Structure 1
Amino acid sequence: MAKKTLKRKQKENVEKEDDPKKKVADEPAAKKVKWINRQRVLVFATRGINYRHRHLMEDLKKLMPHHRSECKMERTKSLQVVNEICEMKNCNKAILFEGRMKRDLYMWFANVPTGPSAKFLIENIYTMRELKMTGNCLRGSRPLLSFDEHFTTHAHYNLLKELLTQIFSVPNHHPKSQPFFDHVYTFAVLDNRIWFRNFQILTEDGALTEIGPRFVLNPVKIFSGSFGNDTLWENPNYISPAKLRQSLAKKAANKYINRVEQKMVRHANKPDLSYAVNPIDEIFKGDLVEKAMEIEEKFEMDKNENTKKLVKNKVKKIKKKPVVAKKVKKAKFVKSKKKLQKRRR
């Protein structure tokens, strides 16, 4: 009996497996989506960056689901090594954070291996943790890229626009991305610099709230190749941060000279006479009787002072000459008489 029951159960299981799965008419057939735009961005740094630069790099990694990370690169190695690392990681774009003196941060955007590449000085860095904005977006969602109208006026801005779109735009149907847009990256040109902001889209009307991070890209050079080769464009308004610090130190050293110059200018511009003040105007302020008494007292004080001065001058005139002076004169007269008598003899 036990054998018969086992055979029946096995037959039932086989019949269930053979039955085709029932499909609901309302559900559309699932289509296989192809991931065509296979952009991969290598994001890493050289040794010498400080903690703020590292936090900025981590923020960018969170915003870019199509990134690939790598260990810090040694300073002794040339930048051409980055092309080899990108080949090993199967990446066709690269963002390199290059720190100097634990102060300055340079960022490289490159299209590997053919180029072009651009070098920027990063200024005014504010990470997500520092800002603590109210905006928020899902991790891995695709962003909209908004560029200023200045990106269409000049050729170098147009080239940078294409480079930034290829790096920051998340490919469609990427395995780690979400299939919708809920935040915007804005790139605005102001004061010969590119200002980066990240906003959350609240409503369809266009209401936005900032998420972060914030930073300013000061372009230095654009190269034809990847991390080098011929320079296509160079910023004429660029001043290195070391020179800026040097000029500030010189200004601080000349503080004493500036202070003396300011003093001389102040004395030169100071008027000799102030505007005329009418003393009678003070009479009508306050109690009239008290003012009259004060004026009388002042008048009497002035009189007394004048009389004292006159008395002193008279006393000086009356004083006799000292007796010692007369004796000296007499002695001189006697000596002169004796000399004359000797000559006559």
Structure 2
Amino acid sequence: MSAYKSFSKQKPNGQKQNGDEDTRPKNRQRVLMLSSRGVTHRHRHLLADLNSLLPHSRKDAKLDTKTQLGQLNELADLYSCNNVMFFEARKGKDLYVWLSKPPNGPTIKFHANNLHTMEELNFTGNCLKGSRPVLSFDAAFEKQAHTRVIKELLTHTFGVPQTSRKIKPFVDHVMGFTIADNKIWIRCYQIAETESAKAKPGDGDEDAAPTATVAKAGKGETNVSLVEIGPRFVLTPIVILEGSFGGPVIYENKEFVSPNQIRSDLRKAKAGRYNTRAEGTVERKAKKRDMGLRTGEGPRTVDELDERVLFA
């Protein structure tokens, strides 16, 4: 009877009933995910993968405009979302990711590259649909002010609250955020637990490095390892705005070079090599003409029987 009472005080997702509610403030987060016109199939599959990993997200149709992004605040208010993830595609090849906290902000604009979806990677890892992730952040996020803002916004966007209606009461995967080369590398791993037989003392190679973390569980032992699930992508922060899709710029990445500028520099480099060859060809022809090596061109010596000499 006591066991029945203890279980009856809990909801199906592991939460307590109203009689034993926690007085701490609840984490109520909901993410609106949508894209602009012109996204490629890879961008669309990445958005679908993130939507499947985040049970507290709501996917919406494509946004027709790329200039009036303030409309996203109205959409977020319409769907009762306090986070927005917007995929902006440029020229059918460049992808920019906007993370915002409507209606007051802040807003972070990223450039996404090195995209690899779950279908492309085909990893062996898997997780339960609707489960909550463990967010793992690099210690470098605490070193600078703008990285702390980025960490907070990533936590609100990718952190699934316990009060969400679509979640399952399991935590079976990890989302890792690492800073390297002033970029944020995002990976997703499954927490795999396998039971192993108890090894006798003296068995095995003592010098061999362990491949997984071993946690004791009762009589036996459990090997806990991480298996990558996907997707993979890298985010380069560009600007941080004070408001939601607007307002003054509070941080700007001076080292960021837009893909358009990179492609323009490559075209100019190719054009410069062609112009150098063309100028060299003109110089060689002029040199041969001055030396009299080209027929009908260059300086000619005046003969004694020339008309200009005879009838001078």
Query: TM-score per shorter chain, which class?
Result: 0.7 to 0.9
Structure with the higher fraction of residues in strand conformation: 2
1:25-53 superposed Cα distances (whole Å, 9 cap, x missing partner): 54334125369322110000111111110
* Partner Cα separation in structure 2 for residue 255 and residue 184 of structure 1: 49
* Partner Cα separation in structure 2 for residue 83 and residue 125 of structure 1: 27
* Partner Cα separation in structure 1 for residue 260 and residue 56 of structure 2: 35
* Partner Cα separation in structure 2 for residue 45 and residue 53 of structure 1: 9
Match of 1:167 in 2: 157
Structure with the higher fraction of residues in helix conformation: 1
Match of 2:102 in 1: 112
Work out whether residues 66 and 88 of structure 2, in 8 Å CA contact, stay in contact via their aligned partners in 1. no
* Partner Cα separation in structure 2 for residue 187 and residue 77 of structure 1: 30
State yes or no: 1:233 paired with 2:265.
no
Match of 1:86 in 2: 76
Match of 1:338 in 2: none
Secondary structure, aligned partner of 2:149: helix
* Partner Cα separation in structure 1 for residue 250 and residue 66 of structure 2: 26
Greater RCO structure (CA 8 Å; 6+ sep): 2
Match of 1:252 in 2: 270
Over the residues paired in the alignment, what is the CA RMSD in angstroms? 1.9
How big is the shift at 1:173? 3.6
Match of 1:273 in 2: none
* Partner Cα separation in structure 2 for residue 76 and residue 131 of structure 1: 30
Show the 5 A alignment for 1:172-191: 172-191=162-181
Greater CA drift, 164-173 or 29-38: 29-38
State yes or no: 1:143 paired with 2:133.
yes
TM-score, normalization by structure 2: 0.72
How big is the shift at 1:192? 0.9
Match of 2:240 in 1: 222
1:189-233 superposed Cα distances (whole Å, 9 cap, x missing partner): 111110110011113645111100000001100001001101110
1:293-319 superposed Cα distances (whole Å, 9 cap, x missing partner): xxxxxxxxxxxxxxxxxxxxxxxxxxx
State yes or no: 1:134 paired with 2:141.
no
What amino acid does structure 2 have at the position aligned with 1:207? Answer: S
Aligned length: 237
Work out whether residues 36 and 66 of structure 2, in 8 Å CA contact, stay in contact via their aligned partners in 1. no
Secondary structure, aligned partner of 2:170: strand
* Partner Cα separation in structure 2 for residue 29 and residue 137 of structure 1: 26
* Partner Cα separation in structure 2 for residue 184 and residue 255 of structure 1: 49
Percentage identity across aligned positions? 46
Q: Which 5+ residue runs of structure 2 have no aligned equivalent?
A: 194-212, 215-223, 279-312
1:169-203 superposed Cα distances (whole Å, 9 cap, x missing partner): 11014221111211111111111110110011113
What amino acid does structure 2 have at the position aligned with 1:185? Answer: M
State yes or no: 1:30 paired with 2:8.
yes
* Partner Cα separation in structure 2 for residue 251 and residue 242 of structure 1: 14
* Partner Cα separation in structure 2 for residue 212 and residue 125 of structure 1: 10
Secondary structure, aligned partner of 1:115: coil
Match of 2:219 in 1: none
Work out whether residues 173 and 179 of structure 1, in 8 Å CA contact, stay in contact via their aligned partners in 2. no
Q: Which 5+ residue runs of structure 1 have no aligned equivalent?
A: 1-23, 261-345
Q: 1:74 aligns with which of 64, 75, 80?
A: 64
Work out whether residues 66 and 171 of structure 1, in 8 Å CA contact, stay in contact via their aligned partners in 2. yes
* Partner Cα separation in structure 2 for residue 199 and residue 46 of structure 1: 29
* Partner Cα separation in structure 1 for residue 261 and residue 7 of structure 2: 65
What amino acid does structure 2 have at the position aligned with 1:208? Answer: L
Secondary structure, aligned partner of 1:119: strand
1:232-273 superposed Cα distances (whole Å, 9 cap, x missing partner): 10001010100001111122234457889xxxxxxxxxxxxx
Which runs of 4 or more aligned residues in structure 1 lie more than 6 Å from their structure 2 counterparts after TM superposition? 257-260
* Partner Cα separation in structure 2 for residue 76 and residue 50 of structure 1: 16
